[in-house]
Amino acid sequence: MSEDLVSLTRLIGENVSAVEDDVEKLARVLRRHHHDAIGRAVEDVADDLRVRRWREILVNLDGRQDDHSGDQSFAVADAWRLFVYHPGAVTGLLFESKPMSELGILLPKRQVLADIYEAWYGLAADNAVPGVDRRSTTLGAGFLARTRWLLLSAPFRRKEAVGSISKSTIERARQAREEWLAVLDTIDDYPNLRARIDVEREAVYVASVELANHRSGADPARVHLAEHVVTCLLLPRFAWVPALHVLTKARGRGVLVHLASAGSGFFAAGVLFVLAAIDVWSWGYSAAAIVALIGYCVVAIAAAARSHLGWLWLLRQPAGASVGLLALIALPPLWATAETGPATLAGGLMALIGVGYLAVEAGNHGARRVVLRAIGTGLFGLFQAAMVSLIGLRLLFPVFVSSSTKENAPFSCWWTGCAGDVLPPWLLLFTATTWSFVVGVFLQITWNDQPITAPLAHVSWRRGR
């Protein structure tokens, strides 16, 4: 058994040395009492026949005993726990043991192990494991689904061997992938499994393996499966960088081109704002707002045409910020005439509150590196809130605020210079940005149970996912 497969199937915290004796005992029982049955199981050409024979072997482990040899029967329930909870020991030691090596099995050990785990998984699906209750069977099936998937997908990681993989093996691997993905979708139903695996790493691996050979053509479900991984497993866990990697690999460089195109527009808007703030160009505020608006038009049109192009922009952030900015319009504009110190302090406090809430939300959704990802998501949210606020301050506020409060309407002149004690433009934008950011963050809880990093709500055509 190759070392890479053993490492993949070894669950976190597994103590291989503690189960070596059980593996050796199981090997002796299989060698002595099931020699002929194993021979028939590995000689069959059809996959379903081999799996059926292994099912018969596994359910009849106990009931066999040879007092003269000293080999005791191996209880099915004990074998079940060994295969379920110690896959690293089984895959690494079972066929390397002396009793099993004496059988002279010619099939690849990976294929035989895949048949055995297929048989265990079928028994679990039928709730037909002797001596194991229904609840334990259901929980154990999640572990089996993982090892079964890793065993069946192992050949596809070695590109040079893909051409020799049979059609039936490809179909089995695709089915195992779907069933393991279903477990990942409902990982909270498997608390023991969740505590022992890295869900994000598993999701990225599921999306990265193409299950096809040169004769069968491309993997038809891989793109849609990768998109499901991005929207339902990675982005809700604030895993933006892994989501970018998976989506780019599935959809090609067009994802990067779109990000660069719209991002360049937003960067240009920021540069224009700075040029205006340092009095280099008096029309810079207006130009910055227009360029930012064009940037969001690019994002919106692309997302409408190809929904996956909008996912990495975390569109819940600008949507929430827009609602927060509209709420700011309803407030008296006196905040724009506050003192510089208190305004700066209030803006910084709101930014910290928003990032703190994101950290709590990230933790509740099972994200890794919670603080780092909360800060990254918060900075991205502040950037989006800044673009939204820039558009609103320049293009919306002068209309709505000045028409309702003509006596005190600083937003009709802030980009050309206002008389009196109006906050400087950069601080106006900073205050509006942090306000719309924190309102958008907290507004998220009224939408649904998805985090702010998830794609915008949409109709789901899945059951149980």
pLDDT tens digits along 448-463: 677 888 888 765 666 5
- Per residue in 309-328, pLDDT (tens digit) is 999 999 999 999 999 988 88
pLDDT, greater one: 30 or 379: 379
- Per residue in 44-91, pLDDT (tens digit) is 778 888 899 999 989 888 755 444 444 556 788 989 999 999 888 888
For residue 24, what pLDDT is reported? 84
Q: Using alpha carbons only, what angle is made at residue 108 by residues 198 and 72, rounded to the nearest 5 degrees? A: 85
Helix 370-391, helix 340-364: angle, nearest 10? 130
pLDDT at position 278 over 90: no
pLDDT at position 165 over 50: yes
pLDDT band at 266 (very low <50, low <70, confident <90, very high): very high
pTM: 0.86
For residue 2, what pLDDT is reported? 42
**Domain parsing of the chain, residue ranges:** 3-249, 314-446
For residue 402, what pLDDT is reported? 55
Percent of the chain with pLDDT over 70: 83
pLDDT at position 428 over 60: yes
DSSP character string of 164-228: G--HHHHHHHHHHHHHHHHHHHTGGG-HHHHTTS-HHHHHHHHHH-----TTT-S-TTHHHHHHH
Residue 371: other Cβ atoms inside 10 A: 14
Q: Are 423 and 431 in contact (CB under 8 A)?
A: yes
pLDDT at position 268 over 90: yes
